[in-house]
């Protein structure tokens, strides 16, 4: 059933693929699909692979037997203790699938990586996690692998090459190529085994991740555990072509269907795949036919399948098969096999006892800032206004970004750029030409052109960051960030926390924002979304000094940073947009970095604080002189970082001016200004002379025509009106109206 290596040519569809005759009734088609699957496993099982047994020898074979029994007992004991309400949450168990976990991990080294799923116990144990540490984690106890912050669905240990398992179906498939890229970049022959289910093969992540690994010849073995069901849904009900291995041909990589009930068959297939990967020949897809004996998760009565079907698979029990094969081949005696089984039972009994008596993870560890971010926020004082300097060092944001990125790339070989159209000779030099010249200088292995696969771009960056690189992916337009939202929000932001602070995810994602007459899908300012997500840092670049120092700070930061840059502010020579704003400013030639989480004072003032980014920052600055003449002195602050946010600097300013206007091009509702208004209300209510005002884009998708676009965007006049309005209000400060404080609070709250 092995499929040929198709990487050199296009492969025809397998003529034996189980597509039913047209016109066959659906029920019969379905039955045919199931029968076909059962037939396939029976065919595959004809080869017992006893040669593998002899090659491995007695010790390894008995170790595999013991490991499979440990996994079986681990799962059963966990379930039983779960029934006794000792284990919180839920469990997904893998009884029946042990041969896949053990066979896949058999040829792997400690320094190789695995990625796993919501059903990870077997994978983690097979890759070397101690059962007591794994069990303690499932119990939520302090000595658990992840200090109780991960649990059953996120088992992992970076030191053992086990990525905290990802419970988003298909989530690991885009990350595995990134881990593999780092292994390759660092000159090792390491490999990554990526486990996922049949159900996951229908996620978009499968397509993007497998194609990426294939085209970049990355050392990944994609291991599909086809257990016929995604939760209660039979695979054939959701998939017309149930032959998952056939998909290898679509990506030009070799693939194989494997008897996943025979650990020897899995070892044999995995050895072939690993050998290719270590030799630099790229990725392989293995479809392991297997079955989970138990329900999908707790409380699954398995009403969707028959007892006969379950028996069919139990008759192929992987543990019994290996035990028999060992003895029949004369590799070990019955007594030796029994001893291995006995040892496994003791190990698991001890693991349960260990977990039961282990202390619970203390609650303060749940909220420790260092659990969320590898570099938690530090107290800041506001950054000084931009300095002047010689004319030849007055740079645009585009030039300053390129200079900062160039310096970091020169200083650190682990910094790589990834994106669409970034390095192709004669191509675009990245969106808005920011990367022009970098591919020539650093080579195309550091300026990496990717498929148009935003999920893969994010996932690869996450994996590479975890494994020691400093990836700088970019999006041509920030609007495309939603394609990679799962990777950013569920993986990049959370993997550190899920790992019990055992790893961090350094990556810097550049996102160009802002309306430039391109309509609703090339105009958004989505930065506020990410302020809502613990674990992410959000940088908004509105000036050249920050562009260079900020991008360098971001690249040196151990946490994921999203960098938002406004298209009208770039001052890029290659692409001048209508309505561009000249933001040129002095950028020192030295290798400075700016503070993460520090706001910048752009103009001091006394009457109204205006907090603004991007176009609105420049609108505020353009109004300042005129308002000054009217007797209104505005203090203009650029928050620079939305996360971590420089609250102290803002409170200090608003405490003095007692008035705040927030202006952003992001939509009004749920925009970052809403959070600012709420916080300032909570902290400075008694000091405020006027309500906090927001000036923002109307809650309307961005239209294309310039005359319609300007009706949706905030205007300079709107901003001026808001500032004049709050300047004209003078609600007495609390100190001057002690007796009224309570009633005014009620009025506001009500």
Footprint of ligand TPP (CB under 6 A): 118-119, 167-169, 197-200, 225, 227, 229-231, 296
Which residue number, 69 or 467, has a Cβ lying nearer to another protein?
A: 69
Question: What are the Cα distances from residue 379, in Å, to 141, 338, 370, 531, 648?
Answer: 33, 62, 15, 18, 8
299 binds another protein (CB under 8 A): yes
Q: What does 231 bind: another protein, ligand TPP, Mg ion, none (CB cut-off 5 to 8 Å by kind)? A: ligand TPP
Peptide bond before residue 10 is cis, with ω within 30 degrees of 0: no
Can residue 22 be called a binding residue for another protein (CB under 8 A)? no
Q: Given the complex with Mg ion, which of 117 and 609 has the nearer CB atom?
A: 117
Active site residue 92: no
Which does residue 633 touch among Mg ion, ligand TPP, another protein, none (CB within 5 to 8 A, set by kind)?
A: none
Per the document, the length of the chain is 750
Q: Which two tokens stand for residue 503?
A: 């790893």
Residue 23 makes CB contacts below 8 A (sequence gap 6+) with: none
Toward ligand TPP, which CB reaches closer, 204 or 604? 204
The nearest distance, CB 219 to ligand TPP, in angstroms, is 23
Q: Is 301 in the site for another protein (CB under 8 A)?
A: yes
DSSP-derived secondary structure letter, 706: H
Q: Cβ closer to another protein: 84 or 308?
A: 84
Residue 167 interacts with, from ligand TPP, another protein, Mg ion, none (CB under 5-8 Å by kind): ligand TPP
**Which does residue 168 touch among Mg ion, another protein, ligand TPP, none (CB within 5 to 8 A, set by kind)?**
ligand TPP
**Spatial CA neighbour of 472 closest among 533, 541, 554:** 554
Question: What is the rounded CA–CA span in Å between residue 618 and residue 457?
Answer: 33
H/E stretch holding 417 reads strand 415-419
Residues in 220-239 at the binding interface with Mg ion, rule: CB under 5 A: 227, 230
Residue 301, contacted partner among another protein, ligand TPP, Mg ion, none, CB below 5-8 A by kind: another protein
| 3-class SS shares of the chain: helix, strand, coil, % to 5 | 45, 15, 40
Contact 125, 98 (CB under 8 A): no
For Mg ion, which is the closer residue by CB, 238 or 606? 238
Contact region with another protein (CB under 8 A), list: 133-141, 296-304, 314-322, 551-559:
296-304
The residues that bridge with 193 in the sheet, in sequence order, are 114, 221
276 binds, among Mg ion, another protein, ligand TPP, none (CB under 5 to 8 A by kind): none
Shortest distance (Å) from residue 420 CB to ligand TPP: 25
**x/- track of binding to another protein for residues 302-321 (CB under 8 A):** -x------------------
Q: How distant, in Å, are the alpha carbons of 86, 149, 452 from that of 358? A: 12, 15, 48
Q: Tell me: does residue 12 bind another protein (CB under 8 A).
A: no
Which segment (42-50, 81-89, 159-167, 618-626) binds another protein by CB under 8 A?
81-89
- Within residues 186-205, the interface with Mg ion by CB under 5 A covers 197-199
Q: Which does 31 bind (CB under 5 to 8 A by kind): ligand TPP, Mg ion, another protein, none?
A: none
How many of the other CB atoms lie within 10 Å of CB of 606? Answer: 12
β-sheet bridge partners, residue 256: 2, 286
Least Å distance between CB 288 and ligand TPP? 11
Residue 29: count other Cβ atoms within 10 Å of its Cβ: 17
Query: Given its phi and psi angles, is residue 97 left (phi above 0), alpha (psi -120 to 50 degrees) or beta?
Result: alpha
Catalytic residue, from 522, 566, 664, 667: name it: 522
User: Is beta strand 220-226 parallel, antiparallel or unpaired with respect to 693-697?
Assistant: unpaired
- As a whole number of angstroms, the distance between CA 140 and CA 142 comes to 7
Q: Tell me phi and psi for residue 637, to 5 degrees.
A: -125, 135
Q: Of 348 and 489, which has the nearer Cβ to another protein?
A: 348
Q: Which does 112 bind (CB under 5 to 8 A by kind): ligand TPP, another protein, Mg ion, none?
A: none
The one of ligand TPP, Mg ion, another protein, none whose footprint includes residue 80, by CB under 5 to 8 A per kind, is another protein
Q: Report the relative pairing of strands 233-234 and 229-230 from DSSP bridges.
A: antiparallel
Binding mask 25-64 for another protein (x = CB under 8 A): ----------------------------------------
Site stretch for another protein (CB under 8 A), options 78-86, 499-507, 559-567, 571-579:
78-86
Query: Under a CB-based contact definition with an 8 Å cutoff, are residues 122 and 75 in contact?
Result: yes
Q: Please say whether the beta carbons of 725 and 693 come within 8 A.
A: yes
Pairing of strands 537-541, 641-643: antiparallel
**Least CB distance to ligand TPP at residue 117 (A):** 6
CB nearer to another protein: pick between 233 and 365: 233
Residue with tokens 């503070």: 595
Question: Which lies closer to ligand TPP via its Cβ, residue 167 or residue 273?
Answer: 167
Among 80, 346, 452, 748, binds another protein (CB under 8 A): 80
Query: Pick from 12, 26, 27, 85: which binds another protein (CB under 8 A)?
Result: 85
| Position with the least CB separation from Mg ion | 197
- Residue 727 phi, psi dihedral angles, 5° rounding: -65, -30
Quickly list DSSP for 53-94: HHHHHHHHHHHHHHHHHHHHHHHHHHHHHHHTT-S-S-----
For helices 172-185 and 204-215, angle between their N-to-C axes, nearest 10 degrees: 20
* Closest distance of CB 300 from another protein, Å: 8
The residues with which 285 forms a beta bridge, in sequence order, are 222, 255
Q: Does 79 bind another protein (CB under 8 A)?
A: yes
What CA–CA distance (Å, rounded) separates 63 from 340?
7
Catalog residues that contact another protein under the rule CB under 8 A.
76-77, 79-85, 298-299, 301, 303
Q: Which residues are catalytic?
A: 522
């Amino acid at each position: 059933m092995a499929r040929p290596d198709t990487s050199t040519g296009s492969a025809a569809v397998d003529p034996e693929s189980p597509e039913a005759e047209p016109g066959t009734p659906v029920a019969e088609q379905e039955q045919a699909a199931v029968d076909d699957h059962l037939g396939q496993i029976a065919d595959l099982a004809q080869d017992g692979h006893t040669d593998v047994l002899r090659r491995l020898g007695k010790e390894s074979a008995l170790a595999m037997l013991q490991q499979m029994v440990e996994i079986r007992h681990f799962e059963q004991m966990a379930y039983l203790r779960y029934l006794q309400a000792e284990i919180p949450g839920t469990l997904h168990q893998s009884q029946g699938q042990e041969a896949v976990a053990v066979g896949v991990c058999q040829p792997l080294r400690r320094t190789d990586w695995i990625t796993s799923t919501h059903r990870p116990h077997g994978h983690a144990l097979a890759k070397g996690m101690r059962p007591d540490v794994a069990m303690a984690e499932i119990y939520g106890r302090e000595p658990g692998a992840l200090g109780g912050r991960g649990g059953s669905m996120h088992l992992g240990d970076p030191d053992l090459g086990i990525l905290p398992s990802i419970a988003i179906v298909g989530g690991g498939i885009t990350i595995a190529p990134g881990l593999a890229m780092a292994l390759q970049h660092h000159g090792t022959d390491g490999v990554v085994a990526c486990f996922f289910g049949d159900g996951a093969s229908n996620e978009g992540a499968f397509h993007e991740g497998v194609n990426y690994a294939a085209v970049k010849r990355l050392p990944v073995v994609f291991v599909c555990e086809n257990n016929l069901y995604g939760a209660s849904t039979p695979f054939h009900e959701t998939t017309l072509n149930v032959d998952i291995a056939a998909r290898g041909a679509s990506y030009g990589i070799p693939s194989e269907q494997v008897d996943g009930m025979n650990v020897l068959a899995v070892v044999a297939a995995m050895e072939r795949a690993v050998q290719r990967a270590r030799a630099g020949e790229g990725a392989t897809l293995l479809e392991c036919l297997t079955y989970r004996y138990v329900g999908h998760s707790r409380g699954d009565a398995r009403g969707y399948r028959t007892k006969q079907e379950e028996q069919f698979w139990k008759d192929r029990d992987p543990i019994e098969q290996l035990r028999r094969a060992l003895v029949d081949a004369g590799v070990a005696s019955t007594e030796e096999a029994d001893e291995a089984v006995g040892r496994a039972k003791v190990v698991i009994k001890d693991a349960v006892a260990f977990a039961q008596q282990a202390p619970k993870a203390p609650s303060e560890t749940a909220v420790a800032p260092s659990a969320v971010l590898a570099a938690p926020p530090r107290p800041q004082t506001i950054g000084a206004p931009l300095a002047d300097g010689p004319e030849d060092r007055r740079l645009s944001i585009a030039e300053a970004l390129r200079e900062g990125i160039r310096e970091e790339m020169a200083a650190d070989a682990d910094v790589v750029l990834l994106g669409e159209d970034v390095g192709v000779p004669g191509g675009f030099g990245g969106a808005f030409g920011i990367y022009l010249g970098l591919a020539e200088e650093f080579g195309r292995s550091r300026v990496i052109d990717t498929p148009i696969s935003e999920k893969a771009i994010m996932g690869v960056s996450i994996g590479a960051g975890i494994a020691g690189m400093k990836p700088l992916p970019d999006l041509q337009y920030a609007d495309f960030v939603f394609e990679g939202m799962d990777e950013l929000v569920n993986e990049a932001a959370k993997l550190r926390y899920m790992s019990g602070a055992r790893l961090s995810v350094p990556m810097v994602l550049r996102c160009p924002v802002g309306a430039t007459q391109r309509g609703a899908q090339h105009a958004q300012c989505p930065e506020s979304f990410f302020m809502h997500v613990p674990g992410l840092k959000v940088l908004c670049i509105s000036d050249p000094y920050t562009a260079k120092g900020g991008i360098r700070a971001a690249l040196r930061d151990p946490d994921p940073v999203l960098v938002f840059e406004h298209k009208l502010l770039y001052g890029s020579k290659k692409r001048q947009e209508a309505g561009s704003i000249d933001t040129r400013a002095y950028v020192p030639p030295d290798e400075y970095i700016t503070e993460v989480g520090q706001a910048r004072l752009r103009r001091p003032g006394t009457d109204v604080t205006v907090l603004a980014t991007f176009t609105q920052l420049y609108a505020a600055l353009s109004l300042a002189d005129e308002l000054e003449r009217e007797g209104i002195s505005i203090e203009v602050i650029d928050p620079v970082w939305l996360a971590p946010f420089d609250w102290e600097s803002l409170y200090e300013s608003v405490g003095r001016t007692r008035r705040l206007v927030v202006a952003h091009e992001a939509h009004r509702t749920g925009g970052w200004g809403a959070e600012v208004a709420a916080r300032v209300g909570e902290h400075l209510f008694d000091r405020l002379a006027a309500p906090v005002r927001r000036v923002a884009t109307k809650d309307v998708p961005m239209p294309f025509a310039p005359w319609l676009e300007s009706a949706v965007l905030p205007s300079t006049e709107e901003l001026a009106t808001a500032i004049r309005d709050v300047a004209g209000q003078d609600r007495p400060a609390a100190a001057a109206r002690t007796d009224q404080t309570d009633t005014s609070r009620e009025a506001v709250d009500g």
